[in-house]
Amino acid sequence: MGEAILSCLVASRIYLPSDICVSDPMSERRDILAKKYGVQVTPNNLLAAEAEIMLLAVKPQSLNTAAIALANAPTNCIVSIMAGVTLAQLEVMFPSKSIIRAMPNTPAQVGAGVTAIVANALVTLQQLEAVRKIFGAIGTVVEVAESLMNAVTGLSGSGPAYVALMVESMADGGVAAGLPRAIAMQLALQTVLGTAKLLDETKLHPALLKDQVTSPAGTTIAAIAQLEKAGLRSAMIEAVLAATRRADELGRS
């Protein structure tokens, strides 16, 4: 996710490569990033933390180690994309700092992500606008109450996996019905892409779009009846809730 954000920032020229410094403990990884994006690289987190904005793109399980190394970070604004880690937890580790918690998702790699953000009381309007521009480079930005951030993680943070599983399953269904694998995958993928675009541009409620496709005694209602029988709707709801609970557990571990 860190590289996805980096690549879109460079491509959009919101920041020049010379304005970006990436810290990574792996020398091979640093060499790749420097060559690919032209950014500054360092193995020293504190050097990177001299920036105007520091983005923490580490696993929640690695936070304590990172925080120790950044205890004296000179930066005034810290942005975390760690699942489940609250503003209160970050404020303990980085006292007197402006802190923004963000939850992007993997479509950020192609500039089509969605990121939810929430800021602590010390964040200035200028800092908030700068962070909105950063995540705007990778897609849509929404602001939510912090109490909803784990739900965001469960829905849009983990959501690309749900959609990928659905596309794969649709393609498998096409193969089972006799379609060649490549054509089945193309049809499934374009159907999801086109439907998402249609919902977005027309602002139709999904139920209305579903009704438009569903004719009396037709093929679609037969399929929907089977999906309802298999519990697709409740399974999706429970998946989002399970991911939300896990995000909460990660924040408390």
pLDDT tens digits for range 53-65 = 999 988 877 888 8
Q: Distance between terminal CA atoms of the chain?
A: 22
How much is the pLDDT for 226? 97
Query: Whole-prediction pTM value?
Result: 0.87
How much is the pLDDT for 139? 94
Q: Which of 2-6, 32-36, 205-209, 210-214 has the lowest average pLDDT? A: 2-6
Boundary of a domain, candidates 136, 152, 168: 152
Q: Are residues 116 and 24 in the same domain?
A: yes
Q: Are residues 147 and 183 in the same domain?
A: no
Residues in contact with 237: Cβ distance below 8 Å, sequence separation at least 6, in sequence order: none
Boundary of a domain, candidates 122, 152, 182: 152
Instruction: Convert the pLDDT of each residue in 215-236 to its tens digit.
Output: 999 999 999 999 999 999 999 9
- Across the chain, mean pLDDT equals 92
How much is the pLDDT for 135? 95
Q: Are residues 106 and 199 in the same domain?
A: no
Report residue 50's pLDDT band, with 50, 70 and 90 as the boundaries: confident
Residue 75: domain span? 2-152
For residue 48, pLDDT over 70 is answered with no
For residue 251, pLDDT over 80 is answered with no
What average pLDDT does the segment 157-185 reach? Answer: 97
Q: Are residues 121 and 172 in the same domain?
A: no
| β-pair type (98-103, 113-119) | antiparallel
Report residue 49's pLDDT band, with 50, 70 and 90 as the boundaries: low
Domain count, the chain: 2
Q: Are residues 246 and 167 in the same domain?
A: yes
Q: Are residues 223 and 119 in the same domain?
A: no
Find residue 101's DSSP bridge partners. 80, 118
For residue 175, pLDDT over 80 is answered with yes
